[in-house]
Amino acid sequence: MSYEILVALKVTDDTMYQAYREAMAPILERYAGQFCYDFSVAKVLKAPKGELINRVFTLNFPSEQNKNDFFTDDAYQVAKARYFENSVAEVHILAAYDKDESV
Protein backbone atom coordinates (compact mmCIF):
# COMPACT_ATOMS: atom_id res chain seq x y z
CA MET A 1 0.00 0.00 0.00
CA SER A 2 1.20 3.52 -0.80
CA TYR A 3 -0.31 7.00 -0.85
CA GLU A 4 -0.82 8.91 -4.08
CA ILE A 5 -2.12 12.32 -5.12
CA LEU A 6 -3.36 13.37 -8.54
CA VAL A 7 -2.44 16.99 -9.24
CA ALA A 8 -3.37 19.42 -12.02
CA LEU A 9 -1.53 22.72 -12.56
CA LYS A 10 -1.62 25.78 -14.75
CA VAL A 11 2.10 26.31 -15.41
CA THR A 12 2.85 29.83 -16.64
CA ASP A 13 6.66 29.66 -16.91
CA ASP A 14 8.03 26.33 -18.14
CA THR A 15 11.67 27.24 -17.52
CA MET A 16 11.11 28.29 -13.92
CA TYR A 17 8.83 25.30 -13.31
CA GLN A 18 11.62 23.00 -14.56
CA ALA A 19 14.01 24.72 -12.12
CA TYR A 20 11.48 23.98 -9.35
CA ARG A 21 11.31 20.32 -10.35
CA GLU A 22 15.11 20.08 -10.28
CA ALA A 23 15.34 21.84 -6.90
CA MET A 24 12.69 19.68 -5.26
CA ALA A 25 13.81 16.33 -6.71
CA PRO A 26 16.39 15.47 -4.00
CA ILE A 27 13.91 16.49 -1.30
CA LEU A 28 11.21 14.31 -2.85
CA GLU A 29 13.67 11.42 -2.97
CA ARG A 30 14.49 11.90 0.73
CA TYR A 31 10.83 11.14 1.52
CA ALA A 32 10.75 8.21 -0.95
CA GLY A 33 8.35 10.12 -3.18
CA GLN A 34 8.19 9.78 -6.92
CA PHE A 35 6.33 10.96 -9.98
CA CYS A 36 4.48 7.98 -11.46
CA TYR A 37 2.69 9.76 -14.30
CA ASP A 38 3.44 13.20 -15.70
CA PHE A 39 1.52 14.79 -18.58
CA SER A 40 1.68 18.05 -20.46
CA VAL A 41 -1.93 18.80 -21.45
CA ALA A 42 -2.70 20.49 -24.78
CA LYS A 43 -6.45 20.85 -24.42
CA VAL A 44 -8.88 20.60 -21.50
CA LEU A 45 -12.25 19.31 -22.63
CA LYS A 46 -14.05 19.65 -19.31
CA ALA A 47 -13.25 21.12 -15.91
CA PRO A 48 -15.84 21.78 -13.18
CA LYS A 49 -14.93 25.43 -12.65
CA GLY A 50 -13.25 26.18 -15.97
CA GLU A 51 -9.76 25.63 -14.59
CA LEU A 52 -6.91 26.31 -16.98
CA ILE A 53 -4.90 23.10 -16.64
CA ASN A 54 -1.82 22.33 -18.71
CA ARG A 55 0.04 19.84 -16.49
CA VAL A 56 -1.25 16.70 -14.72
CA PHE A 57 0.76 14.23 -12.66
CA THR A 58 0.66 11.73 -9.83
CA LEU A 59 2.97 11.85 -6.84
CA ASN A 60 3.40 8.61 -4.94
CA PHE A 61 4.73 8.19 -1.40
CA PRO A 62 5.11 5.17 0.89
CA SER A 63 2.55 6.76 3.24
CA GLU A 64 0.42 9.84 3.76
CA GLN A 65 2.84 10.85 6.54
CA ASN A 66 5.74 10.86 4.05
CA LYS A 67 3.67 13.12 1.79
CA ASN A 68 2.89 15.49 4.66
CA ASP A 69 6.53 15.55 5.81
CA PHE A 70 7.71 16.31 2.26
CA PHE A 71 5.34 19.26 1.78
CA THR A 72 6.23 20.75 5.19
CA ASP A 73 10.01 20.25 4.83
CA ASP A 74 11.85 23.58 5.22
CA ALA A 75 14.04 22.96 2.14
CA TYR A 76 10.95 22.17 0.07
CA GLN A 77 9.30 25.40 1.25
CA VAL A 78 12.36 27.37 0.05
CA ALA A 79 12.26 25.72 -3.40
CA LYS A 80 8.52 26.26 -3.62
CA ALA A 81 8.79 29.96 -2.74
CA ARG A 82 11.69 30.54 -5.13
CA TYR A 83 10.42 28.65 -8.20
CA PHE A 84 6.93 27.19 -7.88
CA GLU A 85 5.08 30.29 -6.75
CA ASN A 86 6.55 32.25 -9.69
CA SER A 87 5.76 29.62 -12.31
CA VAL A 88 2.35 28.19 -11.44
CA ALA A 89 -0.93 30.13 -11.49
CA GLU A 90 -3.33 27.35 -10.44
CA VAL A 91 -3.05 24.19 -8.35
CA HIS A 92 -5.81 21.59 -8.18
CA ILE A 93 -5.60 18.40 -6.11
CA LEU A 94 -7.92 16.17 -8.13
CA ALA A 95 -7.64 13.13 -5.86
CA ALA A 96 -5.70 11.65 -2.95
CA TYR A 97 -5.90 7.99 -2.12
CA ASP A 98 -4.27 4.89 -0.71
CA LYS A 99 -2.99 2.83 -3.62
CA ASP A 100 -2.94 -0.94 -3.56
CA GLU A 101 0.34 -1.86 -5.26
CA SER A 102 -0.85 -5.43 -5.93
CA VAL A 103 -3.48 -4.31 -8.44
Give the strand order in the sheet containing 88-99: 34-40, 55-61, 2-11, 88-99
Under CATH, which number does the domain 2-99 receive?
3.30.70.100
Output the pLDDT for position 51: 83
- Residues 8-18 have pLDDT tens digits of 999 999 999 99
- Residues 20-32 have pLDDT tens digits of 999 999 999 999 9
From residue 9, give the alpha-carbon distance in Å to each of 1, 62, 63, 86, 95.
26, 23, 23, 13, 13
CA 43 to mean position of chain CA atoms: 19
Cα–Cα distance for residue pair 20/24, rounded to 1 Å: 6
Say if pTM beats, i.e. exceeds, 0.85.
yes
Tell which wins on pLDDT, 59 or 50: 59
Cα–Cα distance for residue pair 55/52, rounded to 1 Å: 10
